[in-house]
């Protein structure tokens, strides 16, 4: 009798939650229709996708095609956008000395910030001890992508393209950047009469690709909906419980990193914070919901240009940062590597932790385009230090949710980096003062 009551009221409460959930979703849809704002629609799509994935998992898994379409459209525009903005920035406005200055300034900034991220990750995992007491559970036969072991020579060679078309096809952003820089330098050496056509062409191409981005972004809410629906349907919310402590440690560490590093840097360069958060909000929501830095790149470039960063600096710093300035990934790798040791019951001294993380950072270069490459890298490093593989396979269960957070921080970090380099170059103009002065000079 008691069991029958439990079944009845349990089923009633589930039904009540179901209807309340979808009434709230309908209310959000009405709100989104009234707002007619892309950022609002991305937020609505996040909620709608999560509800579809939770209540209708079969449909949620099939909706993954929407996110795949969106990512394909984004990948289509990345290579021509980077090529056009970089070549026009170098040949049309910059000189060779400025390209060199931007290069070393970017690398200095990248190294400084990623090192801070490394230590925050180590501090977080040593503070929470999230891996201590983890029980060995079977994870099934999960297949990870194969990534060949890379020597330092392989990493260096990976930077340089052997075929520009191949680099575009494989989405090798850094190789596209290197080709575009050399092409722009070569174009500077051409006499002005013959150079003018190509400079005008790349300027026109860049403007066209930004308009192309605006068109593709209308599809962003559907892409977000499909990505979140698939994630929730594939994993289920209950799958998070065994690894909730690790997940919260990562999210907490990333929030601390943003508060202690990003915000002080933004204030130091006199970034208008309200405008920065408004412009970057849409970029961050795309990065978080798709867990793809590529998906957010075009919109991030457009947002930073609105904030007063010259396009030539954005085109150089942001794509380069996608390989060398992965703040969120660096923090994650330091945190996850120590978690594996804690889960295995192995004590690691601080010196050993630093050594392992430094190896992880070096080996992570050049494999950013491989799905779940961070887990593959962790697997190889664990073998080098005699750590078991089963904690890494456990992390795989929540890797998508962890990837969403670290990708968001990666993207925000690269946006901020472009502003820092622009400020360092004396070309950061968030209030449009330079543009207003030029307009006044034209009128006079």
Residues 6+ apart with CB under 8 A from 47: 24, 25, 28
Q: Give, in degrees to the nearest 5, the angle at Cα 369 between 364 and 370.
A: 75
Query: CB neighbours (10 Å) of residue 430?
Result: 18
* pLDDT given at position 155: 64
The pLDDT tens digits of the residues spanning 402-415 come to 888 998 999 999 99
Q: What is the H or E stretch that residue 324 is in?
A: helix 311-324
User: Is-contact 322 248, C-beta < 8 A?
Assistant: no
How far apart CA 389 and CA 13 sit, in angstroms, is: 41
Residue of 119, 403, 429, 420 whose CA lies nearest to 262: 420
Q: What φ, ψ does residue 329 adopt, rounded to 5°?
A: -70, -40
Contacts of 173 (CB under 8 A, 6+ apart): 78, 82, 294, 319, 322, 323, 368, 369
Pick the closest to residue 84 from 210, 203, 215, 211 (CA basis). Answer: 203
Q: How confident is the model at residue 168 (pLDDT cuts 50, 70, 90)?
A: confident
pTM of the model: 0.71
Mean pLDDT (whole number) for 37-66: 83
Domain ranges of the chain: 37-443
CATH of domain 37-443: 1.10.3860.10
Return the closest-CA partner of residue 421 out of 305, 274, 297, 316. 316
CA dihedral 38, 40, 46, 52 (to 10 degrees): -100
The rounded percent of the chain whose pLDDT value lies above 70 is: 80
Q: What is the pLDDT of residues 329-377, one digit of tens each?
A: 888 888 888 888 888 788 777 777 877 777 766 655 544 444 455 666 6
In what helix (H) or strand (E) does residue 382 lie, and over which residues does it extend? helix 373-384
């Amino acid at each position: 009798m008691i069991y029958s009551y439990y079944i009845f009221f349990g089923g009633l409460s589930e039904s009540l939650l179901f209807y309340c959930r979808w009434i709230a979703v309908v209310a959000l849809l009405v709100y989104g229709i009234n707002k007619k704002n892309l950022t609002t629609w991305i937020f609505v799509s996040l909620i709608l996708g999560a509800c579809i994935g939770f209540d209708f998992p079969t449909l949620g898994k099939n909706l993954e095609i929407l996110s795949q379409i969106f990512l394909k459209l984004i990948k289509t525009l990345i290579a021509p956008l980077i090529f056009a903005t970089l070549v026009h920035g170098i040949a049309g406005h910059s000189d060779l000395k400025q390209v060199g200055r931007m290069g070393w300034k970017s690398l200095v900034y990248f190294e400084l910030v990623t090192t801070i991220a490394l230590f925050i990750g180590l501090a977080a995992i040593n503070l929470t001890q999230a891996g201590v007491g983890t029980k060995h559970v079977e994870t099934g036969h999960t297949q990870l992508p194969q990534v060949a072991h890379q020597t330092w020579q392989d990493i260096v060679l990976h930077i340089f393209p052997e075929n520009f078309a191949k680099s575009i096809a494989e989405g090798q952003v850094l190789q596209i950047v290197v080709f575009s820089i050399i092409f722009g330098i070569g174009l500077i050496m051409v006499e002005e009469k013959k150079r003018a056509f190509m400079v005008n062409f790349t300027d026109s191409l860049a403007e066209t690709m930004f308009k192309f981005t605006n068109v593709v972004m209308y599809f962003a809410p559907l892409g977000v909906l499909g990505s979140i629906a698939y994630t929730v349907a594939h994993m289920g919310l209950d799958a998070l419980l065994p690894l909730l402590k690790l997940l919260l440690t990562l999210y907490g560490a990333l929030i601390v990193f943003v508060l202690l590093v990003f915000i002080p840097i933004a204030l130091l360069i006199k970034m208008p914070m309200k405008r920065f958060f408004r412009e970057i909000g849409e970029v961050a929501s795309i990065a978080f919901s798709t867990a793809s830095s590529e998906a957010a790149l075009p919109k991030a470039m457009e947002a930073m240009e609105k904030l007063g960063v010259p396009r030539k600096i954005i085109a150089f710093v942001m794509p380069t940062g996608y390989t060398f300035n992965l703040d969120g990934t660096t923090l994650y790798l330091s945190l996850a590597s120590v978690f594996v040791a804690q889960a295995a019951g192995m004590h690691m001294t601080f010196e050993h932790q630093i050594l392992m993380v430094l190896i992880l950072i070096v080996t992570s270069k050049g494999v950013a385009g491989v799905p779940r490459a961070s887990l593959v890298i962790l697997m190889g490093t664990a073998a080098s230090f005699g750590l078991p593989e089963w904690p890494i396979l456990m992390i795989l269960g929540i890797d998508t949710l962890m990837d969403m957070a670290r990708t968001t921080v990666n993207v925000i970090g690269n946006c901020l980096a472009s502003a820092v380099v622009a400020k360092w170059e004396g070309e950061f103009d968030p209030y449009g003062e330079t543009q207003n002065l030029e307009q006044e000079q034209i009128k006079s």
